[in-house]
Amino acid sequence: MKHLLEDLFSERHRLTARRRAMTVLHEVCRNHERLNLFADGAPREMPSILLDVDEDAETVMFDIPPEVEGVQWDRSDPVLAVARYEGVFVGFELDDIETVPWNGTQALRAALPPRVYYLQRRHYFRVPVATGDVSAVVLVRQGAAAINGRCHDISAGGMRVLVNPVAGDFALRSGERLQELRFQLRGTALQTAARIQHVDQPVQLPNGRSLVPLGLEFCDKSFAFDQAVVLYVQQRDRDLLAGRS
């Protein structure tokens, strides 16, 4: 998470158009996207949501997180906020925070963030798969025996798998098109064509066994396939962001 914050809150990811920045804030608020707050002195990130974005008053309202020892919410020093928007990380600083009444309860009010950061890396961000989420992956080759692999991470555009070194057939190579890629994702059977994007150096396991990492690109995806993978990636990413492994 530290690496993410350092990357996200950098000048190259700042939205320079105010209207675009305000649109992102309004959408995060409207969709009730989870905020993860990072405050000095807090042992971990704290969950919240944006309640209101008032451009005229130049303020935002957000929910008070569960009590965390050592964190004072009426504060002048900024708190970093990270959320999701259109499948990528967005971030902004919450400054001049104070507790105020809100709809019969209390909430936190902060100055309207002067800068919004939008991590414009690939749309197909990758997530490591959880144990049991993805079955063995079957790679069906043209003119060679099918091989089994183990999924390491996945995105809407492809996956990385670990396979045994090929013996008795022609070697795996970048650019090779796979007739079919089959696996189960949380019990749902999926298949599509694929292409080997890269073949990495074998990795040695502690038991002495070697596995070859392959980067695979999904090809000719059906709508159902695409939706199933995208939904998994988004849900898995939210779990990881929330600290659920």
Whole-model pTM: value is 0.53
Pair (136, 214) in one structural domain: yes
Pair (103, 22) in one structural domain: yes
* Residue % of the chain over a pLDDT of 70: 93
Which two three-digit tokens encode residue 116? Answer: 């919004």
Pair (181, 101) in one structural domain: no
Contacting residues for 87 by C-beta, under 8 A, at least 6 apart: 123, 125, 234
Pair (101, 136) in one structural domain: no
The pLDDT of residue 1 is 57
Reduce the DSSP state of residue 129 to 3 states and report it.
coil
Reduce the DSSP state of residue 26 to 3 states and report it.
helix
Please report where in the chains the tokens 């190259």 appear, as a residue.
12
Report the length, in residues, of the chain: 245
Q: DSSP label at 119?
A: -
Pair (108, 160) in one structural domain: no
Pair (113, 149) in one structural domain: no
The pLDDT of residue 129 is 93
Pair (88, 43) in one structural domain: yes
Please compute the mean of the pLDDT values over residues 221-225 and round it to a whole number.
Answer: 85
Please compute the mean of the pLDDT values over residues 80-88 and round it to a whole number.
Answer: 81
233 has a pLDDT exceeding 90: no
What domain range is 22 assigned to? 2-118
Task: Tell me if 100 sits within 8 A of 108, measured CB to CB.
Answer: yes
121 has a pLDDT exceeding 60: no
In tens, the pLDDT along 23-64 reads 999 999 998 888 989 888 676 788 899 999 999 999 999 999
Q: How many independent structural domains does the chain possess?
A: 2
Pair (132, 109) in one structural domain: no
Task: Tell me if 74 sits within 8 A of 98, measured CB to CB.
Answer: yes
Pair (164, 197) in one structural domain: yes
pLDDT band at 85 (very low <50, low <70, confident <90, very high): confident
In tens, the pLDDT along 124-156 reads 578 899 999 999 999 999 999 999 999 999 988
For residue 228, give the CATH number of its domain: 2.40.10.220
Contacting residues for 32 by C-beta, under 8 A, at least 6 apart: 49, 50
Residue 224 to residues 191, 227, 234, Cα–Cα distance (Å): 10, 5, 15
